[in-house]
Amino acid sequence: MHSKKATHQHTKEHNRNLVLKNIFEHEVISRAELSRITGLTRTTVSEIVAEILEEGLALEVGIGESAGGKSPILLSLAKDSRHIIGLDIAQDHFRGALVNLRGEIKKMVSTPVAERFGAKPLTQIFEVLDQLVEASDQPLVGIGVGTPGLVNTAEGMVINAVNFDWKDYPLAHILRERYELPVFIYNDSQAAAMGEYLYGKYNLKGDNLIVINAGYGIGSGLIINGRLFQGDGGGAGEIGHVVVLPQGGAQCRCGHHGCLETVSSTQAILRQVRENPALSRRFAEPITLDEIVEAYQQGDEDIREMVFNAAYYMGRAVAALVGTLDIHQIVFVGEMTRFGEPWLEVIRQTMREFSLSRLAQSTEVEIGKLGSNATLLGAVAMLVSNYSLLFGHRFRSK
């Protein structure tokens, strides 16, 4: 008896999620259209829609075109009926945002990282989140966090984040205790992939996507069949620590020499400029990425050569991904994208040179649509696509 009941409950939730997913994916949609797309009976759709309306998650927004018979009533997602908090734990600053169900940012809070070790980072994270919780005037669904390093999402554990000296750090548990909300932790590059997929609208182009996050560190996130693929140990897409310069490569913070991160990241570019007296004297101290980007845009040959060398090794890494996964949509996010189209073109050319031409020809490589908000919105996207979290807020407010 119980198993039958459980199966029924499971089916009910599955159907409800299916209907809600389609309301999310359309600006407006009728019950009849929902029935046609989902394959559910009109009665089932009507019952589910009644529940969604009662929860305040959708609104009836007018009358559609009649296809003969009664004109259909159109439904639309009530985008401001819930808020979600996204947090991006970046190398040099913590950025948090209060976001609605359409990924629109209602409030943003950012703070430079004062100290990387001990309790200080956590205190700063609390400061950011406190302001966002306070600012929300709608039920809060939860907190999504994107962090560098290896993450066990199921356990809410940062297994290893070298930037913050976090090892087996139970970040989700700590935040859950304080805010009494669901908290989910993702690797920042994996979160960025989900952000671009959902809010950068790549989900409309296909079910597979690779997002490469090239900034202070380098990582990637893989969306396969519409879902984030994390691999057996949560580390799928960790391309930053694949060795590309086995001889004479610089030492990486992971302990190896010549990792992709030591040649193709912003920290690598900064290090190379600082270590080269002929270059470093062109800039005021402390040398910043802004100054390097400006010199690059003004045609400084030495800087351009350095950036294109970084792009060459990145292109080789992309070729390996193309050969392994044959995913035709590759998107770059992160600070390295500031070097723009010429940098990207070197990546494309190198990818073509080092992968099977038929695969390379079908592969689009471009810069993402969300800019610096990809990780933050991705952490939110994970919560939004976990539809069951959106229900049960009818009588709960702050």
Chain segment 231-287, per-residue pLDDT in tens: 998 889 999 999 999 888 899 888 889 999 999 999 999 999 999 999 999 998 899
CATH number assigned to the domain covering 204-368: 3.30.420.40
pLDDT at 23: 95
**Cα separation, 376 vs 87, whole angstroms:** 5
Least confident of 5-9, 198-202, 296-300, 326-330: 5-9
* Cα dihedral value 151, 220, 199, 390, nearest 10: -20
Least confident of 16-20, 55-59, 230-234: 230-234
Share of the chain above pLDDT 90, in %: 74
**In the chain, where does the domain assigned CATH 3.30.420.40 lie?**
83-194+376-390, 204-368
CATH class of 83-194+376-390: alpha beta
- Closest Cα to residue 268, out of 185, 334, 323? 334
Mean pLDDT of 44-51: 96
**In the chain, where does the domain assigned CATH 1.10.10.10 lie?**
8-77
Residue range 119-139, pLDDT digits in tens: 788 999 999 999 999 999 999
Name the pairing type of β-strands 364-367 and 329-333.
parallel
For domain 8-77, give its CATH number from 1.10.10.10, 3.10.20.30, 1.20.840.10, 1.10.357.140. Answer: 1.10.10.10
pLDDT at 187: 93
pLDDT at 8: 76
The yes-or-no verdict on residue 397 having pLDDT over 60 is no
The yes-or-no verdict on residue 4 having pLDDT over 70 is no
Instruction: At 90, give phi and psi (nearest 5°).
Output: -90, 175
The yes-or-no verdict on residue 68 having pLDDT over 80 is no
Angle between helices 289-297 and 266-275 (to 10 degrees): 80
The yes-or-no verdict on residue 218 having pLDDT over 90 is yes
Burial label for 255, CB within 10 Å (0-12, 13-18, 19+), is exposed
pLDDT at 91: 78
The yes-or-no verdict on residue 85 having pLDDT over 60 is yes
pLDDT at 3: 58
pLDDT at 346: 98
Instruction: At 256, give phi and psi (nearest 5°).
Output: -80, 175
pLDDT tier at 1, thresholds 50, 70, 90: very low
pLDDT at 306: 96
Q: How many residues does the chain have?
A: 398
Tokens 């400084």 label which residue? 300
Does 117 or 188 have the greater pLDDT score? Answer: 188
Q: Please give the mean pLDDT across all residues of the chain.
A: 91
Facing residues of 144 across strands? 86, 184
